[in-house]
Amino acid sequence: MSVRQALGISHRIGLQIIRSRWTIPYLILFPIFFIGLYWFGFSASPIGENQTFLLGIINQDEGLTDEIQLLFQNETLLGNGTLQEFHSTDVLSKGFGSEFVNILGNLTYNNQQNSSHIFEITEYSDEMQADSKLKNRELDIVLILPRQFSNASLGILNGYWRNSYGLYFHEYLQTFDASIPDLPINISEEVIIRGDESYLNYQIANSILGNILNAYLDLTSAFRGPGGSIQIAMNEEYQVSIPTFSLFGLSTPGLIAFGIIMQPSLISLFFCMEFRPKNTTFDIIRLSSSPTTYILGTFLIQIPVMIGQAFILFTSSLLMGFQPNGDIILAYLIALTILPFSASLLYFTTAIFSNEDVVGTILGFGGPFLGFMSGAFIEVPKIILFKEIIPTASGFPRDFLIWDLIPLTHTVSALRQVMLYDFTLIQVLPDILLSFVLSLGFFCCSLLFFAYFRFWRSSQ
Amino acid sequence: MKKIIEVKALKKVFGKGERQVNAVKGISFDIYEGEIFGFLGPNGAGKTTSLRMIVGLLRPDSGEVKILGENPHKSGNKLKEILGIIPQNPTFYEDLTVEENLWFLAKIYNIPKMIAKERINSLISRIGLEEKKKAITKDLSGGQKRRLNLILALVHDPKIILCDEPTPGLDPQSRIVVWEFIRNLPKQGKTVILTTHYMEEADRLSNRVAIIDNGEILVLDTPENLKTSIGEGDLVEIEVSHLGDTEIESLPGYLLALDPPLHLEEVSTSQSVCTIRALDVVPKLTRILASIENQGFSVNNLSIRGTTLEDVFINLTGRRLRS
Ligand SMILES: Nc1ncnc2c1ncn2[C@@H]1O[C@H](COP(=O)(O)OP(=O)(O)OP(=O)(O)O)[C@@H](O)[C@H]1O
Ligand SMILES: [Mg+2]
């Protein structure tokens, strides 16, 4: 095998693609048309609006230590007004955690006339119990507030104080009374969000909750201390923007994936030409090259074509007004790397079996079919192969569904999570890895099949 | 002479039951370095099937092929560079230009760029396609496609060239270009296997010819030996029409029994044609024609020619090469 040989094959297919009259309609116009159609039909239908999500909370917050609670009773400081505001809230006795739960419970969709609650909250003391509710979809999402939630919140305040005034809050207080103890600094504690990542309600609730947590951090750090006093007035200042979703928005990642999936079917046309019974070009290949070289060559041209296509689709959907809630760069990266990689596997499947026009056409449609099955457009039925084995960032393992065998499923899901729900790279890493490993696995299998069917068996 | 290809008892059956075709029924022969070996046979004789088995594209049911001592089905890449196959159907990518197709082969055979460039240019000019260098091959004429097909197999400069029916559909001029081209290959140290159903092509190009029919080699020899094997002399074909009651079948007996004898080697008839083979036939013509007319026939047409491989084929099978 040599790279030059493979590149020779890539070059040839590249020329064929450029010269084929199918290229532009098939690779570019049709997918864009499809996205446009969706946009036209569905961009105005919001979903998840005014929906109340079932939120389970496990509040493990241990509150503030007695020592700190006592500090806020300090007569001197109350006397000069420094701690007045703080003293008057429930935060002191109940802790930041339960205050946060209150806030969540009171949040309403106030952008509409009716002001329905965003969350219906049930508190649990037992994680197992909450998890089993999640599994039965009696809960959409579960939030776990850690033991140190209050201390960590105070630590954030403390840090902000120092950033603004050059002193930690306790250092400031200690100028009045040297006996005042230190307040927490830099406590890192994780707030855990759990749910079934394949469940639409979870996905939406998760992104709302993510926004709220971000706002909470902003809020705690946006403490101002005019005249040296602390204000903690979460209820009033809590302005959370609720992300909106339209069917178009929800479908866009799938549509992009779909557009890219179309490409293997085009390539399968070229393959069918090569494998037509009366066509002998493949004899030349068999006489001169090896299966590995051939596949490498086709792969090398496949990838740039798909990347170009992903770019066009992604950009055109942005231009049509698709607003990703998440990190566009990360979404681009996924769309441009792992998606083409996993989609190209379809093409090899096609390559192995297509030897007549009819078969090729059927397999050409097989690509879009797999696209559907990967959940690109629709929520696929839950056919479980293995229970709870896919790790997720939330720590709540996901079931391995039959569709999870398709690498594209994971790519589409990663793309959707990044584009719609603002997941980070770490959060979608399991999906990306799965997609990669599955694609690679399929690639190796198809290589074997290809060598067998096309190089070995055809000489029978 | 060095044996370059050995074929032993090669056999291939396609299909099963009613559809079974015994395409090749155990053929054996050797091919020597530097010769042009012709496979002459009618459609469906098994020529293409044999070639495909020889190069390793098709697995024989039984029998053995050795090319330079190697089995082409097991040799991996070793033989790939040595073999060049010119398929029966023009085989290239229709949406690429003439040049691009040639370059594609240069790349997959890993020919260094400089060498490839020179070779491609020389091949294009030798086969007379300079003007079509940049043409998309889809737009070439049938004959131009055949010519391109021929040089595609030579880009990697193979030692052995297997050429499956190079000339159907060519005009006489192009045919001569192609014949010249093939005839020159041994001068460049190449060995050629050629299949054809044109007896003239086999006759003119081949050093040795195997006549194949129904998957079997009927005879294998030089064209000269094959032709003399069925008898010496030239052939006269006389087309007659029938006036009296005498049957045309009686003519051979009558002509052979003439006194004084005409010394005819062989006389046969089929339908309205009487074929006579004889040495030094021209002086005998007057008497032959007079005798035929005596028998109540009138002569419509007459031609004299040398023996061809077609006659050899007819002699062997009772059928013509092209029906
Ligand atoms: N793949 C196949 N499947 C079934 N039968 C086949 C196959 N290839 C060839 N045959 C049959 O084998 C016989 C020999 O075919 P082959 O192509 O070798 O003939 P040929 O001598 O090359 O004829 P032509 O001059 O027409 O090219 C034919 O009867 C043909 O129908
Ligand atoms: Mg043939």
- A280 versus A193: the higher-pLDDT residue is A193
Distance CA A443, CA A457 (A): 19
Neighbouring residues of B219: CB distance < 8 A, sequence distance ≥ 6: B210, B211, B226, B229, B312, B316
pLDDT tens per residue, range A1-12: 688 889 998 999
Q: Which residue of A has its CA nearest to B74?
A: A456
- What is the residue-wise DSSP string for A381-410? P--EEEEEEE--TTS-PEEEEGGGGSHHHH
Ranking A139-143, A305-309, A360-364, B216-220 by mean pLDDT, the lowest is A360-364
Section B92-96 average pLDDT: 91
Does B271 contact ligand 1 (Cβ within 6 A)? no
Closest by CA position to A420, among listed A246, A237, A190:
A246
pLDDT grade, residue B96 (50/70/90)? Answer: very high
pLDDT grade, residue A265 (50/70/90)? Answer: low
CA-closest residue to ligand 1 atom 16: B46
Query: What is the length of chain B?
Result: 323
For chain A, positions 9-48, list CB contacts with chain B under 8 A.
Answer: 9, 11-12, 15-16, 19-20
Q: Which residue of A has its CA nearest to B75?
A: A287
CATH 3.30.70.100 positions along chain B are 231-306
Residue A344: which H helix or E strand, with range?
helix A338-353
Other beta carbons within 10 Å of B141: 12
Distance CA A235, CA A216 (A): 11
pLDDT of residue A358: 59
- What is the residue-wise DSSP string for B255-268? HHT-SS----SEEE
- A276 versus B202: the higher-pLDDT residue is B202
Distance CA B48, CA B166 (A): 12
Ranking A206-220, B22-36, B64-78 by mean pLDDT, the lowest is A206-220
A288: left (phi over 0), alpha (psi -120 to 50) or beta: alpha
CA of B115 to the centre of ligand 1 (A): 37
Under a CB-based contact definition with an 8 Å cutoff, are residues A49 and A113 in contact? no
Between B56, B89, B107, which is nearest A8 by CB?
B107
Q: Specify which residues B6 forms β-bridges with.
A: B30, B66
* Helices and strands per DSSP (H, E), number in chain A: 20, 8
Does B20 contact ligand 1 (Cβ within 6 A)? no
> Could A284 and B91 be called an inter-chain contact, meaning their C-beta atoms sit closer than 8 Å?
yes
Q: CA geometry: angle at A386 spanning A385 and A387, to 5°?
A: 125
pLDDT at residue B323 above 70? no
Ranking A209-213, A258-262, A428-432 by mean pLDDT, the lowest is A258-262
What tokens does A440 get? Answer: 């690679």
Name the superfamily (CATH) of residues B3-228: P-loop containing nucleotide triphosphate hydrolases (3.40.50.300)
Residue B59 near chain A (CB below 8 Å): yes
Does B23 contact ligand 1 (Cβ within 6 A)? yes
pLDDT at residue B169 above 80? yes
pLDDT grade, residue A83 (50/70/90)? Answer: low
Does B48 contact ligand 1 (Cβ within 6 A)? yes
Between B57, B73, B95, which is nearest A16 by CB?
B95
Domain definitions of chain A by residue range? 3-46+245-459, 50-220
Ranking A224-228, A412-416, B51-55 by mean pLDDT, the lowest is A224-228
Other beta carbons within 10 Å of B193: 27
CA of B49 to the centre of ligand 2 (A): 7
Q: How far is B101 from chain A (nearest CA, A)?
A: 8
- B191 versus A173: the higher-pLDDT residue is B191
pLDDT tens per residue, range A22-47: 777 777 787 778 777 777 766 665 65
CA of B60 to the centre of ligand 1 (A): 14
The tally of CA atoms less than 13 A away on the side-chain side of residue A329 is 2
Class of domain B231-306: alpha beta
pLDDT at residue A321 above 80? no
Does B168 contact ligand 1 (Cβ within 6 A)? no
Distance of CA A30 to the CA centre of its chain: 26
Section B171-181 average pLDDT: 91
Q: Which residue of B has its CA nearest to A16?
A: B95
CA of B20 to the centre of ligand 2 (A): 18
- A107 versus B56: the higher-pLDDT residue is B56
CATH topology of domain A50-220: abc type-2 transporter like fold (3.40.1710)
Q: Hey, is B52 helix, strand or coil?
A: helix
pLDDT of residue A237: 44
